[in-house]
């Protein structure tokens, strides 16, 4: 390994650790949400939560497109010393993502029953359908906060305030877990209460991230005067690869939800939800790896440094081949324990969850 590759490897490691910490903290909150729902609210509750997952992915799709396009274009313009243009791109992406999230929030709150009917044939499972509607309505209030957090996070990376992202995610997870526990043991609020706890935790995290923009040394400011509508097309096109990933995720989860609900009922859907919930934690490494490569590659692309890009990809490829087999083996061996922490007095769901994880 030559000197240049050592420098790239060090930058790669430092950036990967930041992404891993922030994503792990975020996924840990989601993981504990699923565990508490399955353990204390029961099989029907976690099945209802699983029924809403395709819509959660769909609702975040356009927001993620804007965030990725903004991140790459802002990185290129900052590298070229065009701060005003970068602020315009940031402001345009924030407006588009926030506006779409507000519209989705209103639609989700007003038409939760129709959305659930599109997600699966739950009419024969009345309790699952009712709880899914409850969660979706409560979750609708979180969509604008999710949009803001998704746009703010890469800006923290570009504006040299990476630790704030980690602290914000930890704060969100702690508040979410505390809210879940209060909902379960004090308020008995069911899935509606779980959705409200998620919403409150997201808004608290967004408030903490927003403090960055009040700092005098912050480079990024919201200013529509610097925004050029012509950049919207480029933001969308650059971020468009996210569409394929999210659409495949939405379709896959929706198809499997329908199949498991129709063939095995609420028990099968609960087991599949357990798999999806735990898999989100397993995917943390690959997602952090992709985000790290994107973040560093933007710099090299701006400098037209093809040699460094090849070395970056080589480092990422070697690490992937080393870590992913280890994750696979651990998941297979630990499947019974994983299923146990999600279930309570439900042997059928437990057995199906073990099979699904393996």
Q: For residues 126 and 144, what is the distance between their CA atoms, to the nearest angstrom?
A: 29
- For residues 84-123, one letter each, b for 16 or more C-beta atoms within 10 angstroms of the residue's C-beta and e for the rest, the string is ebbbbbbbbbbbbbbebbeebbeebeeebeebbeebbebe
pLDDT for the residue 209? 92
pLDDT of 183: 93
Give the separation between CA 334 and CA 329, rounded to whole angstroms: 9
pLDDT value for 123? 62
Residues 119/153/90/71 CA torsion (nearest 10 deg)? -90
CA distance 62 to 75: 20
Q: Which residues contact 341 (CB under 8 A, 6 or more apart)?
A: 35, 39
DSSP 237-279: HHHTHHHHHHHHHHHHHHHHHHHHHHHHHHHHHHHHHHHHHHH
- Give the C-alpha separation, 62 to 97, whole Å: 7
The predicted pLDDT at position 2 comes to 64
pLDDT on residue 22: 65
Look at residue 148 in the predicted model and tell me its pLDDT.
Answer: 93
Q: Tell me, what's the pLDDT at 197? A: 92
Give the dihedral sign, CA 69/74/77/83. Answer: positive
Residue 250 half-sphere exposure, CB side, CA atoms within 13 Å? 16
Q: Within 13 Å of residue 196, how many CA atoms lie on the same side as its CB?
A: 13
CB 90 within 8 A of CB 218: no
Whole-angstrom distance, CA of residue 217 vs CA of residue 161: 11
pTM metric for this prediction: 0.81
Give the other-Cβ count within 10 Å of 250's Cβ: 20
What crossing angle do the helices spanning 61-79 and 83-110 adopt, rounded to 10°? 170
Calpha distance 251→325 (Å, rounded): 27
Q: How far is Cα 254 from Cα 183, in angstroms, rounded to an integer? A: 28
pLDDT recorded at residue 210: 93
Instruction: Decide: 264 and 276 in contact? Cβ < 8 Å.
Output: no
Which run of H or of E encompasses 298? helix 284-302
CA 207 – CA 307 distance, rounded (Å):
41
Distances (CA, A) of 177 to 55, 174, 193: 22, 5, 12
Task: Render each residue's pLDDT in the chain as its tens digit; 358 residues.
Answer: 566 777 777 878 877 887 777 677 667 667 777 888 888 888 888 889 888 988 988 998 899 899 888 988 888 887 777 888 888 899 999 999 999 999 999 999 999 989 988 887 666 667 888 999 999 999 999 999 999 988 998 888 788 887 888 888 888 888 988 999 999 999 888 899 999 998 999 999 999 999 999 888 888 888 877 777 888 888 898 888 888 878 888 888 888 888 888 888 888 888 888 888 888 888 888 878 887 887 777 677 766 767 777 888 888 888 888 888 888 898 888 888 888 888 877 788 888 888 888 7
């Amino acid at each position: 390994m030559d000197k240049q590759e050592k420098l790239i490897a060090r930058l790669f490691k430092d950036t990967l650790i930041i992404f891993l910490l922030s994503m792990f903290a975020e996924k840990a909150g989601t993981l504990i949400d699923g565990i508490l729902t399955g353990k204390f609210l029961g099989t029907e509750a976690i099945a209802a939560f699983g029924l809403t997952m395709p819509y959660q992915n769909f609702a975040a799709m356009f927001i993620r497109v804007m965030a990725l396009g903004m991140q790459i274009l802002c990185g290129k313009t900052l590298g070229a010393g065009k701060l005003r243009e970068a602020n315009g791109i940031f402001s345009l992406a924030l407006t588009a993502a926030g506006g779409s999230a507000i519209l989705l929030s209103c639609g989700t709150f007003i038409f939760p029953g129709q959305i659930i009917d599109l997600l699966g044939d739950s009419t024969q499972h009345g309790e699952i359908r009712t709880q899914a509607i409850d969660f979706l309505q409560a979750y609708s209030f979180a969509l604008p906060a999710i949009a803001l957090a998704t746009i703010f996070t890469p800006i923290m990376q570009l504006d040299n305030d990476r630790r704030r992202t980690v602290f914000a995610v930890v704060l969100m997870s702690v508040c979410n877990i505390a809210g879940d526990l209060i909902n379960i043991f004090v308020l008995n609020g069911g899935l509606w209460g779980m959705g409200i706890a998620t919403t409150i935790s997201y808004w608290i995290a967004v408030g903490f991230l927003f403090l960055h923009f009040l700092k005098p040394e912050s480079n990024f400011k919201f200013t529509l005067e610097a925004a050029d509508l012509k950049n919207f097309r480029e933001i969308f096109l650059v971020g468009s690869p996210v569409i394929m990933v999210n659409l495949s995720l939405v379709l896959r989860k929706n198809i499997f939800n329908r199949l498991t609900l129709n063939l095995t009922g609420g028990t099968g859907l609960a087991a599949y939800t357990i798999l999806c919930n735990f898999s989100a934690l397993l995917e943390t490494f690959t997602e952090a790896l992709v985000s790290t490569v994107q973040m560093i590659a933007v710099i090299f692309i701006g400098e037209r440094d093809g040699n460094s890009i090849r070395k970056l990809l080589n480092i990422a490829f070697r690490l992937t081949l080393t870590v992913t087999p280890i994750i696979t083996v651990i998941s297979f061996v630990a499947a019974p324990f994983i299923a146990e922490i999600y279930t309570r007095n439900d042997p059928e769901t437990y057995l199906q969850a073990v099979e699904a994880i393996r």
